A and B are shown apart, each in its own frame.
Chain A
Amino acid sequence: MSKKDIIICRCEDVTLEEIHQLLERGYTNIEELKRLLRVGMGPCQGTTCMQLIQREVSKFLNIPIEEVKTQKVRPLTMGVKLNAIKEGACDES
């Protein structure tokens, strides 16, 4: 299967080919890949793609996968409507 057809990040539609292109250009830090490709920026927050990307970085740099730092985990863990947050905030006060 062509690298162009392998989707790594399903939220943002990023292919294996795009990941490999950036690795070749020297962007081997997951935070950089995230910022330039939007991997891990979608609704799943990287829970689907990050391990796959870690593996690609590890293969590319030829280092153990545990040495590839993942992205900073940020809130929220699940999408919540602004209206719901507002109502929650108003009820409490």
Chain B
Amino acid sequence: MKASYVIIGAGISGCSIAYNLAKKGVKDIIVVEKHYLTAGATGRCGAGVRQQWGTEMNCRLAKASIDFFSIAKDELGYQGDIEFKQEGYLIVAVNEEEDKQFAKNVILQNSLGIPSRKITKEEAKEIVPHLNTDVILSATFCPTDGHLNPFTMTDAYYQAAKRLGVTFLFREEVKSIVVKNDKIEKVITTNHEIHTSNVINAAGGYAKEIGDMVNVAIPVYAERHEILVTEPVEKIQGPMVMSFGMNIYCQQVPHGSFLMGRSNPFEKPSHNIESSWQFLDEMAKTVCTLLPPIGNLRVIRQWAGSYNMSPDRQPIIGTTDLPGFYVACGFSGHGFMFAPMTGLLLSEIILGEPLTIDITDLHIDRFKTARDIVIEKSVV
């Protein structure tokens, strides 16, 4: 088999990259996926999309991606429903430090054209009536943030890429990559040998292991994050409610169920994605404090997935020291919402086109130098 580009991973990043490259006229692209479409973090995520970030880079990537999500169904010619819901994110401040930081974030966001605003807790209660305002100081709200169905959104990219001629190999694992004299020769999978000079690493939680196959050290690791879903009920909550301080995000999806998650600050790097009762306990305590009536809902199911963590909690997108080896990883828990830009920008980098957004700062080389890295703090 031969390919111009081999993309490893059929999560939303790999599918978006495949679609964007193919749309720009690249032929003979092969995507290799060891399980099935959305088997990795993509099919396990909260699928919230927000523009309320603390760094300029994340704000820009998120805004441009949301602009794409709003036209994605037509752009990708998708028959199904991507369930794009734009009813905002309500991010609550639970201490003075957050209150001050959020005021600064809103100034930054507004300067980039993001319509977020700082609001009082009374105003927050008007937006989410079941919010317990005794535990918050203030909030910020951005009405154009939202949520999508991660399965159908990825399927939309997948279908469009297939129509443009991309080949997908499912249930096939990349085992090794043969490099000679600093040049990629072939990718060896469980079923094929694919001759190619270009490999794109979109392997999510396994991005480091793929880098190791070609001796490119990628400073990322996998970390388990858990999530649960309740029984569906009538619509009572429009926006995603989020708190960094209380460590929770909670959203009612169009289907009617509530999705909620939080991080475990003691989680160690690993590929473990089993569910734990500890998460269930902590999640129940947190949600019952911040959104008390949600306590009346039954939990139907819990699961987990891997965040691919980078040192500054920002993505790593671009070329590497090995010619023909590209990376799109390290999304640190927010790679779903950036995927439209991940695909567009990486395809521009690969084809040497001018960049829609300057992402030089997301290059892997940023970790080589000891200069100050900007850490994104607005994460759960």
Chain A positions within 8 Å of B, measured between CB atoms, are 29, 31-32, 35-36, 38, 41-43, 45, 74-76, 79-83, 85-86, 88-90
- Once the chains bind, are A82 and B288 in contact (CB under 8 Å)? yes
Asked whether A75 and B298 contact (CB < 8 A) given A35-B151, A85-B284, A86-B285, the answer is no
**Contact mask for chain B residues 31-46; partner A; CB cutoff 8 A; 1 contact, 0 none:** 0000111110001000
- Once the chains bind, are B301 and A31 in contact (CB under 8 Å)? no
- Measured in the bound complex, the distance between the Cα atoms of B302 and A74 in whole Å is 7
Asked whether A36 and B151 contact (CB < 8 A) given A45-B300, A76-B299, the answer is yes
- Measured in the bound complex, the distance between the Cα atoms of B299 and A58 in whole Å is 32
Determine the interface band of chain B, counting residues with CB < 8 A from chain A: 20 to 34
Contacts of A36 in B (CB 8 A): 80, 151-152, 155
- Once the chains bind, are A82 and B36 in contact (CB under 8 Å)? no
- Once the chains bind, are B43 and A83 in contact (CB under 8 Å)? no
> Interface of chain B, helix or strand or loop or mixed?
mixed
- Once the chains bind, are B284 and A82 in contact (CB under 8 Å)? yes
**Known interface pairs A76-B302, A81-B298, A89-B281; 12 further A-B residue pairs with C-beta atoms within 8 A, sorted by A's residue number:** A29-B36, A31-B39, A35-B38, A43-B231, A74-B275, A74-B303, A75-B302, A79-B300, A80-B298, A82-B296, A83-B295, A89-B284
Contacts of B294 in A (CB 8 A): 82
Contacts of B357 in A (CB 8 A): none
Asked whether A81 and B281 contact (CB < 8 A) given A31-B39, A35-B38, A35-B43, the answer is no
- Measured in the bound complex, the distance between the Cα atoms of B302 and A35 in whole Å is 15
Contacts of B285 in A (CB 8 A): 86, 89-90
B230 contacts the other chain (CB 8 A): yes
- Once the chains bind, are A76 and B295 in contact (CB under 8 Å)? no
- Once the chains bind, are A32 and B36 in contact (CB under 8 Å)? yes
- Measured in the bound complex, the distance between the Cα atoms of B218 and A55 in whole Å is 44
**Contact mask for chain B residues 57-96; partner A; CB cutoff 8 A; 1 contact, 0 none:** 0000000000000000000000010000000000000000
Contacts of A42 in B (CB 8 A): 300
Neighbour of A81 across the interface among B155, B282, B297, CB < 8 A: B297
- 14 of the cross-chain contacts (CB-CB < 8 Å) are A31-B43, A35-B43, A35-B151, A36-B152, A36-B155, A42-B300, A75-B302, A81-B295, A81-B298, A81-B299, A82-B284, A82-B287, A86-B281, A89-B281
- Measured in the bound complex, the distance between the Cα atoms of B283 and A81 in whole Å is 12
- Measured in the bound complex, the distance between the Cα atoms of B283 and A92 in whole Å is 15
B26 contacts the other chain (CB 8 A): no
